Amino acid sequence: MSPVDILLIGGTRNVGHHLAVAFIDRGHHVTTFNRGLTPDELGAGVERLHGDRTEPGELRRAIAGRSFDAAIDTIAMRGSDTRGAVEVLDGLIGHYVHFSTGQVYLVRNGCPTPASEEDYDGPLVPAPFGGTWEAGEWRYGIEKRECEDALQEAWEAHRFPSTRLRLPMIHGERDHYGRIHGYFLRLGDGGPLLVPEESGPPIKHVDQADVVDAVARIVETGEGKGRAYNLAQDDSWNFDQFLGRLAELMGATPRFVRRPRHELVQAGLFPACSPLSSPWMSVLDNRRAREELGLSFRGLDDYLPSLVEHFRHEDLDPPAAYVVQRERERAIAMAPPAPGPHPA
């Protein structure tokens, strides 16, 4: 196919890096727009523009009236970000791909699990009290809904050509939060894992390579305008199954101690001590993406072995939370559980 001129809005540490590399390998032209605070590893084949995406005027000045075949926005976090992008890019792009989140369903009152795209509409849950970690997760879901609503309004008003991708947890070698890497280190350091008694939702996440493949298909075919799609693996694992499989791949014996989630939160250890146990992990139905876009998805057992090999053989910095709190996790795991009944 003919080369596609792509504007990539956002960072290039994780999925953005893989997107840029994939598009360059396919013969397309990639221009990145971000603050330029974190050096990328993309070489000379990428054009770089710098600015603050929360200020629409900076994006307007950076692109200076240029047109693009597609824009991929990985970092729109609130409605104002998206409305600003629509204002600047309207008439200058052929397709706008927005990275949303499965948490748009988790702030829906009574939303089914797994959630399908039709479950988006409906009453929302009220905000949790105070400045808790759950309040931050709720706000993230609400503000990403504001982004989606702005795009839907622009589509209905003047056919602004957007596709919304609702993503669960994305796993890959460049996850700078080191979620699975943290479990790998905890299983391998000889001490027990400290996990909540409440196991959390099923693990039905997505491999970063499948996200890249989905975006490439959408950009190259122009499919999906005015639509939202869930991206997620087909298979579903509970937490103990995941941990057992990870330990098996490592040749380790899983040792873990369970404590009530509220105790781990009060100790300042959760969700970092076991991020995949979080109730804010979304579980998505991927049928629309498979049927309308022809996408396929790798299962956990397709991508977990390669991650384990990567962790084994690469000299990686441990996740910050592992460094900061691992010794406290061990201390609590080895201490007797608190007496008395636990709140529901």
In terms of Cβ atoms closer than 10 Å to its own Cβ (0-12, 13-18, 19+), residue 129 is: exposed
Q: Which of 101-105, 311-315, 334-338 has the lowest mean pLDDT?
A: 334-338
Task: Supply the angle between the helices 300-313 and 239-250 in degrees, to the nearest 10.
Answer: 40
Asked if 270 and 196 touch (Cβ cutoff 8 Å), the reply is yes
Mean pLDDT within 63-91: 98
Residue 328's domain comprises: 95-332
Classify residue 328: in a domain, yes or no: yes
Asked if 252 and 188 touch (Cβ cutoff 8 Å), the reply is yes
- The model's confidence at residue 341, banded by pLDDT at 50, 70 and 90, is low
Classify residue 236: in a domain, yes or no: yes
* 129 compared with 328, residue with greater pLDDT: 328
Asked if 67 and 92 touch (Cβ cutoff 8 Å), the reply is yes
Confidence (pLDDT) at 340: 60
- SS3 label, residue 6: strand
Over the chain, what is the mean pLDDT? 96
CA gap 264, 304 in Å, rounded: 27
Mean pLDDT within 78-107: 98
- The model's confidence at residue 38, banded by pLDDT at 50, 70 and 90, is confident
Classify residue 165: in a domain, yes or no: yes
Label residue 27 left, alpha or beta by phi (over 0 means left) and psi (-120 to 50 means alpha): left
CA gap 170, 271 in Å, rounded: 17
Q: How many residues does the chain have?
A: 344
Q: Which residues of 277-287 are buried (b: 16+ CB within 10 A; e: fewer)?
A: bbebbbbbbbe
Confidence (pLDDT) at 344: 42
Classify residue 197: in a domain, yes or no: yes
- SS3 label, residue 8: strand
- The model's confidence at residue 1, banded by pLDDT at 50, 70 and 90, is confident
Classify residue 15: in a domain, yes or no: no
Classify residue 208: in a domain, yes or no: yes
- The model's confidence at residue 222, banded by pLDDT at 50, 70 and 90, is very high
CA gap 102, 124 in Å, rounded: 14
Classify residue 104: in a domain, yes or no: yes
Domain count, the chain: 1
What percent of the chain has pLDDT above 70? 98
- For the cut 90, the answer to whether the pLDDT of residue 331 exceeds it is yes
Asked if 175 and 320 touch (Cβ cutoff 8 Å), the reply is no
Confidence (pLDDT) at 12: 85
Task: Supply the angle between the helices 239-250 and 179-188 in degrees, to the nearest 10.
Answer: 60
317: domain CATH number is 3.40.50.720
Q: Which of 77-91, 119-133, 153-167, 196-210 has the lowest mean pLDDT?
A: 119-133
Point out which residues pair with 257 in neighbouring strands. 194
